[in-house]
Chain A
């Protein structure tokens, strides 16, 4: 009986120890440790529009290389790559991308495809921006003389979309620093969260078409301005410079880039449609 008593405590301890060990083992065991993969820093628009879910399986099937996508704003994605935490960057802000390459962090920039931005706003369009001129549309939002003033939601996160928005304001001759008021809502968030905010406030917002088409919680919003050539949104892809970061998987990364630019890759991009609508238009110059 006494033997049983003390061995009970012992059993307890052993059991606990075994649980700990097992859990540690499970935790330390990396997912598919020997998997061949590259890490791609990209934007929320490519991820959330569903393009990658369509594109990557085709590439992975063909190459045997898994692509791990970290989706951030363009600015963050480039910073991540600067620190060497990605092998390939796939973003949409030409000026920032060229700077990235000029600084030596990227090997070479290739244009892959474009989609377009759309100006979205309340169905009843209180500022009367609907049409095909993005600059005129923004001017009307900035100068709307109605009460309550219809709000405009900005990403405010240094993303490609945010940078494009800032360029449009400038081109429209609106000095944001001066014109900014309670109507201009700087949300500092990704495309999706910004759209959620806009839907909740019934606000105007600049969005990429892909994310918008894939977005479910639209509320009372609709596309008001589209088709302006200035709204075209170019995507570029770059291999992170192995000279800066020796661990970069340059061969597999380059394979991914080559595939994106290849006829097969370009056709796969064309084939991605939501409700019959093509989202991205390949334009690689090879």
Chain B
């Protein structure tokens, strides 16, 4: 446990010293994963709501598919996005490989199924409670989906958090499409992998601790806001 102790000490020193490189890495991690989460929510939440409320052929297949895709290995997603963005790939002309945009894209692909599947669950429960009322008021299914998305906004924060948690913690996808380039695409997880490679376990551990604290803090804030909102709106 001496490694853990020294990890905590080192974490404090690095953060307090305002180590610019460390802060850049932390900020890039946040920027990439938060953006990926927002995009995944913009796509996954309406999709999940339509899967819950809609009646169309292939809906069940899609539900199973999205549930299964929650377990997609990041490396596979990374590889797919790499092949897509590579100069030899279909989107190669944009030159996006080894940029934060590529990392955002990969994480978005990775977590959209998670957000969609969790949203579907939340909306399905709300739909159970409200479908008679919404039918009675003459809301179309599309309208009903939108209404339920808004009405379950506090519960849906959990779906967003789950996606964010997976995004910021994954290393396989961003390593492949970002390339772990110093100062450009190096995020917390790829730095941890690199420092582990170099055998600098205390530094790797320190970064791990910072990552955990960060994720905890964000979870804490969201849960506090959610609790406050639920007390406010019932």
Contacts and interface: CB of A to CB of B under 8 A. Distances in A.
Q: Which 3 pairs across A and B sit closest by C-beta, in order of nearness?
A: A27-B35, A192-B197, A84-B87
Contacts of A39: 98, 179, 181
B184 A24 contact: no
B98 A68 contact: yes
B199 A70 contact: no
Contacts of A23: 34-35, 38
Interface residues of B, number: 33
B73 interface: no
Nearest to B181: A68
B124 interface: no
B198 A216 contact: yes
A68 B199 contact: no
A218 to B, nearest CB: 7
Contact of A191 (B35, B86, B98, B197): B197
Contact of B92 (A70, A84, A192, A218): A84
Interface string B95-139: 101111100100000000000000000000000000000000000
A71 interface: yes
A69 B34 contact: no
Given A20-B38, A27-B35, A69 B181 contact: yes
Interface of A: 19-20, 23-24, 26-28, 30-32, 39, 44, 48, 52-53, 68-71, 83-85, 190-193, 195-196, 199, 211, 214-218, 245, 247
B196 interface: yes
B182 interface: yes
Contact of B184 (A19, A68, A191, A211): A68
A27 B96 CA distance: 13
Interface in B169-203: 179-182, 184, 194, 196-201
A173 to B, nearest CB: 33
A31 B87 CA distance: 20
Contact of B97 (A48, A85, A192): A85
Contacts of B224: none
